Structure 1
Amino acid sequence: MKRIGIDVGGTFTDVYLDQNGIVTVEKVASTPHDPGEAVVNGILAVTEQAGLAVTDIDEIVHGTTVATNIALTGKGARVGLITTEGFRDVLHIARHKKPMNFSLQQELPWQSRPLVKRRDRMTVTERITAPDGEVLIPLDEDEVREKVRTLLNRGVEAIAVCLLHSYLNPVHEERIAEIIEEEAPGIYLSVSSRIVPLYREYERFSTTALNAFVGPSVSRYLNQLDSVVKNLGFRNEIQIMQSSGGMTPISRAARQPVTLMMSGPVGGLLGGIWAAKASGFDNVITLDIGGTSADIGVSVGGKLRMRHLLDSTIGYYQAMVPMVDIDTIGAGGGSIAYIDEGGIYRVGPDSAGARPGPAAYGFGGTQPTSTDAQVTLGRLRPDRGLASGGFTMDGDAAVAAFDGLAENLGMSTVAAAEGALQLQRFDMAQAIERNSIARGYDPQHFALVAAGGAGPLFSCELAQELQIPTVIVPPHPGIVAATGLLSTDRVVEAMGTYRH
């Protein structure tokens, strides 16, 4: 069986091809303007290297951060909400919690940057009661049509439907969905009883609205990718990694993109667990350092640790879906080193990305990054090919990028480069401690898997600092996340609230 795992990162897209144990790997430059372009480039590159045609491939598993990036940057669709009369402001009120308990001046992102603007939240007459889902007030269908037309006139791109107690009886939500499809065929539709039929009003409203917020862009991306790959000759349906650690068909993922929020990082943890088991270790800490971020995961006994449904968030938005517990920090190879307004030396979370990327990549980047620091210190060899097409680095450009920063810091170029890496190591050590020691796990009882393009460059010093006795560097650490995509199973999840 011939299988491809392909993971899109901020700088590189990693590809892993397994032909019944014969492995071929590739790295191609990511294409932020259209992530699907890099996916196609990666598939073509790895099949060409292996001497295969796309028609020979039996399965493709894809991990993507498209949904996560949309949620974190706030660049999603304009969403309209239809809910029960009297519950228009559930998304605004939330849980009455503040990020900082004792601050009188703070921003509440779910209010200042809501998933659905208040003027686009419509209420309709209906009521279903708990605990048996009894219809107390019938649905006013004429009112529903009026509100849908109002939303359409305002230019919404997606509509979320979330009624009170619909998890007990979805009859009114389903009827509203039918009316929306009659009035606005083709509009993206997110219905809470289909997405997250669980009790807790705010979490259910937020998850449904978040699904609608990312839905149009994610579904377009997935559908276009599916079409392009089929045109290349792939006969089956692409599988997409979910936040829960299982894969699902691309058609289903396009309908429920909220389940893809940790799609990319979970592949790194799965790959780390696979590599640790192959080396005889069950307890593992994974450090997956890519171009933009570092993902830290902890597995005890080779099992995935899941977040509690009430703790599963993306940024400040609640996403009440099964989600593997992974901590992500802005410390990657492309993280930019700079002096902040207070004169403090910092690295990240801003990244140079794939274009222009680190100065050493030769794509026009001039800002000093973590990768440039590694090249300046001789830890990365500019003459070694890193990716598809014999990609090499410009050592002189890397040194030049740190020269100006070093002068402003009043230190040598080498000292500035070493300082940048030390700052990143400190952030990573804290993240590992948060996910191990703070949760009752002693790092001395774990092996550390060095994953991602920069994982092996940091792992030994981190292991020494945290007293982790074993570091595992897989044969192809830069594509561990793509490897992990092929180590899981197809998973179909069903959720529901059970009252007894």
Structure 2
Amino acid sequence: MKRIGVDVGGTFTDLVLWDDDGTAVVHKTPSTNHDPSIGTMDGIAVLAERAGIDPAEIAMFFHGTTVATNIVLEHNGCDVGMITTEGFRDLLHIARKKRPLNYSNYQDLPWQKWQLVPRRNRRVVAERIDAAGNVLVPLDEDAVRAQVRLLRERGVDAIAVAFLHSYRNPAHEIQVKEIIGQEYPEVFVSLSSEVAPQYREYERFSTAALNAFIGPKTSGYIENLAAKAAAAQVGDDVHLMTSAGGLITSRSASETPVSLLTSGVVAGLLGGCAIGKASGFPSVITLDVGGTSADIGVAPDGALRMKHLLDTRIGDYHAMVPMAEVDTIGAGGGSIAVVDEGGMFRVGPRSAGAVPGPACYARGGVEPTSTDAMVTMGWLREDSFLSGTMEVRPELARTAIQTNIADKLGTSLDAAAMGIFKILAHSMTEAISLHSVRKGYDPREFSLIAEGGAGPLFAWQIADQLGIPRVIVPGHPGITSAVGLLTTDIRYEVPTTVWTSSADPDMPLLTEQMARLSREAVGRLEADGVAAQNITLERSVDCRYVGQGYELRVPAPDGAIDDVWVKTVADEFHRVHGRTYSQRFDDKPVQLVNIRVTGVGAVPHVRIAEIEKGTADASAAIKTTTQALFWRDDTAEPEWADTPVYDRALLLAGNTFVGPAIVEQFDSTTIIGMGQHATVDAVGHIIIERKSA
């Protein structure tokens, strides 16, 4: 079976074609941001030609996209109207009363400055349901019709419907949807009870509004791509990566595009998990470094961690949808180095981007970047950029660093270039520490997966700083996110709020709701054509101690819900709470807040094939020797060293070599530092370890 993974980024679209025999063909093409489907389909045509196949031979099409994310970040969504409960018109404006600057009276609040729904389009109607799901005030259907007609006259593109406590009883929201279908059938509709059926009204309202804000454009893109893929007979459908690390069909993605907000980022973490498992090291930290940002994920035993629903946001907006624990910092190959007015030497988060780009690109950029630093240090050679197809000018990099950094600090060009690299590497090191050590995980028990075009340039230094025992550089670091798309299953998570305690659990409620969620999860998978034998269900519970305001998600066992089931969940919560916060209170009752059922539809996964075996001698892969700047540790003086440059395509399984060394390939360059040893494993991954000199 042939399957294709396509990850569309802001600058490049990455594609990988994988066959069941383990062979892979990769391609990278510029993204067509005005219509990403053009670059996607053109890239598929080129990739199929390169592989010598007809596009119709591709059985499955997996896709990661930044379309939804970019709409939010660029504030260019559609015109949205909202229908809500009387008295709650300004909930989106008030939010949680949190402020970016606590003591400033003069600050822009992003959710107020760039409103998802303008106040004049937030319309209220009489209705009220209590927290138990009982109807206190019936829905005023005449008022609903009047408000829908008003919004139609104003030409809104989407309508969000968010009522108080609709997570417990969605009847009124469903009635409104039926009325909208009669009065304004062409409008996009987003119900809070469908996109976020959980308590916490502000986050639920925000999620419904966000789904409406991105809905028409995102669903239009998905439907357009699906139509083009069908016309080219590529796959049976387009399966899209969700923020939770699962796949959904184009139909489901069009209905709830808010689930796609961190699509491509999560694919990179999944790709790293697959790479670590293939090399025999399942616990991984992923470092995906591009031109502007670095994405960092931590997966103990190769399992994704999920963010708390108060932390799941995109830009400045809350999106109460499942998101895997991946975070992004402003650090990449285009990060700009400056000496500010106070004499502080800083690097990033501002980036030169693709245009004008680093100074060495000769596209008009004059500010020094981390790429310019690595060109100056001899790590990135003139003929190494995209295998020599992209021209660079090292003298422009040296001039930018000398003028803007070295002269201002009164230091040498070498020291300035090394300082740029080390400052940026330190930012990534701190970010990894924040998401591992401070959350109860020891990085010394993990492997660092170097991803993206720039990840393999930084990984060796970061691993050294954190004591991470090994760096794993995959065969194609630059397309790891595309590979990640081919390593997961179709997944639908269905949650609900239950509010019960381990001290006095409401067994009938838990049993009834768990059964309902299970039926809904199975129904969604069956609607996607997943066979019954390929369906499994996973349970989880959001728990907290009574009196806390923040839950932790814990896995829940299968089987009947009884006292043993509740005790198992509570014991697991005590354990997770102790690991996360270094405190546990086994004598305290546990509150079960939300229960979740995740329906999993198994999809055949890719297999990373073994490569040709060789001997320990890697000298046949050396294509030249260059002078490059290295250091043994942070206390040692840097020195220019004769450094072998290896051709990645010529390395064989079993080859070993010692740093300093440079490994070049089309989509990335790998650095092995002084005192580090590199080994090519059976599947072609480079394993970099610190050994005694």
Structure 2-normalised TM-score? 0.68
Aligned residue number for residue 110 of structure 2 = 109
Local SS of the residue matching 1:80: strand
Query: Structure 1 residues 448 and 203, CA, compared in 2 at 3 Å: closer, same or farther?
Result: same
Query: Structure 1 residues 2 and 281, CA, compared in 2 at 3 Å: closer, same or farther?
Result: same
Residue 277 of structure 1 contacts residue 302 of structure 1 at CA under 8 Å; is this kept in 2?
yes
Alpha-carbon distance, 1:408 to partner: 6.2
Residue deviations 1:61-117 (CA, integer Å, cap 9, x gap): 111122222222322222211101111111122223334555555443223333222
Local SS of the residue matching 1:7: strand
Aligned residue number for residue 275 of structure 2 = 275
Local SS of the residue matching 1:492: strand
Within a 5 Å distance, the mapping from 1:291-440 to structure 2 comes to 291-340=291-340, 342=342, 344-361=344-361, 365-384=365-384, 386=386, 391-396=389-394, 397-399=396-398, 401-402=400-401, 404-406=403-405, 409=408, 413-440=413-440
Residue 405 of structure 1 contacts residue 416 of structure 1 at CA under 8 Å; is this kept in 2?
no
Query: Structure 1 residues 78 and 417, CA, compared in 2 at 3 Å: closer, same or farther?
Result: farther
User: C-alpha separation between the residues in 2 aligned to 1:185 and 1:336?
Assistant: 49
Report the count of equivalent residues: 497
Within a 5 Å distance, the mapping from 1:88-237 to structure 2 comes to 88-101=89-102, 105-131=106-132, 133-237=133-237
Give the partner amino acid of 2:197.
P
User: C-alpha separation between the residues in 2 aligned to 1:55 and 1:362?
Assistant: 41
Alpha-carbon distance, 1:422 to partner: 2.1
Residue 451 of structure 2 contacts residue 477 of structure 2 at CA under 8 Å; is this kept in 1?
yes
Aligned residue number for residue 73 of structure 1 = 74
User: C-alpha separation between the residues in 2 aligned to 1:163 and 1:19?
Assistant: 48
Alpha-carbon distance, 1:333 to partner: 1.9
Query: Structure 1 residues 66 and 129, CA, compared in 2 at 3 Å: closer, same or farther?
Result: same
Local SS of the residue matching 1:286: strand
Residue 116 of structure 1 contacts residue 209 of structure 1 at CA under 8 Å; is this kept in 2?
yes
Residue 30 of structure 2 contacts residue 39 of structure 2 at CA under 8 Å; is this kept in 1?
yes
Q: Which runs of 5+ in 1 are unaligned?
A: none
Aligned residue number for residue 30 of structure 1 = 31
Residue deviations 1:369-391 (CA, integer Å, cap 9, x gap): 3333323322122313528xx73
Aligned residue number for residue 284 of structure 1 = 284
Local SS of the residue matching 2:321: coil
Alpha-carbon distance, 1:361 to partner: 4.6
Higher relative contact order (CA closer than 8 Å, sequence separation 6+): 1
Give the partner amino acid of 1:43.
I
Name the stretch that deviates more: 27-36 or 360-369: 360-369
Residue deviations 1:253-283 (CA, integer Å, cap 9, x gap): 1211111111111111111111111111122
Name the stretch that deviates more: 9-18 or 397-406: 397-406
Give the partner amino acid of 1:61.
F
Residue 338 of structure 2 contacts residue 405 of structure 2 at CA under 8 Å; is this kept in 1?
no
Residue 287 of structure 1 contacts residue 459 of structure 1 at CA under 8 Å; is this kept in 2?
yes
Alpha-carbon distance, 1:367 to partner: 4.5
Residue 246 of structure 1 contacts residue 491 of structure 1 at CA under 8 Å; is this kept in 2?
yes
Aligned residue number for residue 238 of structure 1 = 238
Q: Which runs of 5+ in 2 are unaligned?
A: 500-505, 507-693
Aligned residue number for residue 46 of structure 2 = 45
User: C-alpha separation between the residues in 1 aligned to 2:407 and 2:250?
Assistant: 50
Name the stretch that deviates more: 346-355 or 67-76: 346-355
Aligned residue number for residue 492 of structure 1 = 492
Aligned residue number for residue 469 of structure 1 = 469
Name the stretch that deviates more: 25-34 or 464-473: 25-34
Name the stretch that deviates more: 337-346 or 369-378: 337-346
Give the partner amino acid of 1:335.
S
Residue deviations 1:329-379 (CA, integer Å, cap 9, x gap): 111223333455655443333333344444445655554433333233221
Residue 226 of structure 2 contacts residue 237 of structure 2 at CA under 8 Å; is this kept in 1?
yes
Local SS of the residue matching 1:10: coil
Fraction of identical pairs, as percent: 54
Query: Structure 1 residues 11 and 370, CA, compared in 2 at 3 Å: closer, same or farther?
Result: farther
Name the stretch that deviates more: 166-175 or 94-103: 94-103
User: C-alpha separation between the residues in 1 aligned to 2:420 and 2:155?
Assistant: 46
Alpha-carbon distance, 1:467 to partner: 1.2
Name the stretch that deviates more: 419-428 or 300-309: 419-428
Aligned residue number for residue 8 of structure 1 = 8
Residue 339 of structure 2 contacts residue 405 of structure 2 at CA under 8 Å; is this kept in 1?
no
User: C-alpha separation between the residues in 2 aligned to 1:28 and 1:392?
Assistant: 14
Query: Structure 1 residues 394 and 160, CA, compared in 2 at 3 Å: closer, same or farther?
Result: same
Local SS of the residue matching 1:115: coil
Residue 207 of structure 1 contacts residue 320 of structure 1 at CA under 8 Å; is this kept in 2?
yes
Query: Structure 1 residues 305 and 56, CA, compared in 2 at 3 Å: closer, same or farther?
Result: same
Query: Structure 1 residues 400 and 40, CA, compared in 2 at 3 Å: closer, same or farther?
Result: farther
Local SS of the residue matching 1:280: coil
Structure whose CA Rg is larger: 2
Residue 242 of structure 1 contacts residue 262 of structure 1 at CA under 8 Å; is this kept in 2?
yes
Query: Structure 1 residues 360 and 184, CA, compared in 2 at 3 Å: closer, same or farther?
Result: farther
User: C-alpha separation between the residues in 1 aligned to 2:188 and 2:400?
Assistant: 46
User: C-alpha separation between the residues in 1 aligned to 2:138 and 2:315?
Assistant: 37
User: C-alpha separation between the residues in 2 aligned to 1:371 and 1:40?
Assistant: 31
Please, what is the CA RMSD of the aligned residues? 2.3
User: C-alpha separation between the residues in 1 aligned to 2:419 and 2:32?
Assistant: 30
Alpha-carbon distance, 1:23 to partner: 1.0
User: C-alpha separation between the residues in 2 aligned to 1:399 and 1:45?
Assistant: 37
Give the partner amino acid of 1:195.
V
Give the partner amino acid of 2:473.
V
Does 2:80 correspond to 1:85? Answer: no
Give the partner amino acid of 2:391.
M
Residue deviations 1:461-486 (CA, integer Å, cap 9, x gap): 11111111111111111111111111
Residue 27 of structure 1 contacts residue 386 of structure 1 at CA under 8 Å; is this kept in 2?
no
User: C-alpha separation between the residues in 2 aligned to 1:400 and 1:36?
Assistant: 40
Alpha-carbon distance, 1:304 to partner: 0.6
Local SS of the residue matching 1:226: helix
